Amino acid sequence: MSRLKGKKIGFIGSGNMAEALARGVINAKLIKAEDVMGSDISKTIGWIQEQIKVPARIVRVMPNTPALIGEGAAGLVACKDAKEGDCETILELMQSVGVAKIFEKEEDLDAVTGLSGSGPAYVFRMMEAMIEGAKQSGLEEEKALNLTIQTVIGAGILAQKRLKDNIKPDKLREMVTSHKGTTEAGLNFMKEHNFFDVVRDAVKTATARSKELAKI
């Protein structure tokens, strides 16, 4: 039996992330729409405890917007007052709308925010650039859009399936790159313009901003 049966679920706040998560769990038929209320993801466990002023069993979660379609990625951490089973209950909730991982330290959620929380926007921005490059190379926008979306979907699914064989993204990149071929030319251009560093530092910058917001 589901740990969520008979429970009400609340979110403090109701922005894009809360809406995506709420719609996702409703679509997964784990809860009814009338059992959902709202949370500000930037608020720490300590902040929440200060507001309610009594010991509480808190599990803090950082999801992302693809939870709306059951393809989310989330990190969660429990406070010291949480009981055995609390994390598992929330883990079940989050796994109903994607992949979820439990962390021991709350500060790890800042990095989760910088990675998977903000990550969809990084991918969308890269997609914008790919579409524009295709248009400037002569393709119609609609066809460029469809091919770009499918390329990203296909690459993600391929990476997910190959991970079961311990084949990680760096190996997949090598497998698709022929010596002196078109892919190598594009990758070399990315390297010359510090593409790897830019994406890496975007994650670190978003992580730092998450730490700042937690102090406000």
Sign, CA dihedral 45-50-51-55, equals positive
Give the best-scoring range by mean pLDDT among 5-9, 63-67, 84-88, 175-179: 175-179
Q: Which DSSP helix (H) or strand (E) runs through 108?
A: helix 108-112
Q: What is the pTM of this model?
A: 0.83
Q: Residue 66: which of 136, 3, 19 has the closest Cα?
A: 19
Q: Which residues contact 107 (CB under 8 A, 6 or more apart)?
A: 211
The predicted pLDDT at position 35 comes to 41
Q: Tokens 């926008």: give the residue.
A: 141
Bridge partners (DSSP) of residue 60 are 77
Q: How far is Cα 216 from Cα 200, in angstroms, rounded to an integer? A: 25
CA–CA distances in Å: residue 94 to residues 120, 137, 150:
17, 41, 26
Q: Are 100 and 71 in contact (CB under 8 A)?
A: no
Dump pLDDT digits (tens) for 45-64.
Answer: 888 778 777 777 888 889 99
Tokens of 190: 């990315």
Q: How far is Cα 119 from Cα 115, in angstroms, rounded to an integer? A: 5
Using pLDDT thresholds of 50, 70 and 90, give the confidence band for residue 191.
Answer: very high
Domains of the chain: 16-109 (3.40.50.720), 119-214 (1.10.3730.10)
Once rounded to an integer, what is the mean pLDDT over residues 64-91?
88
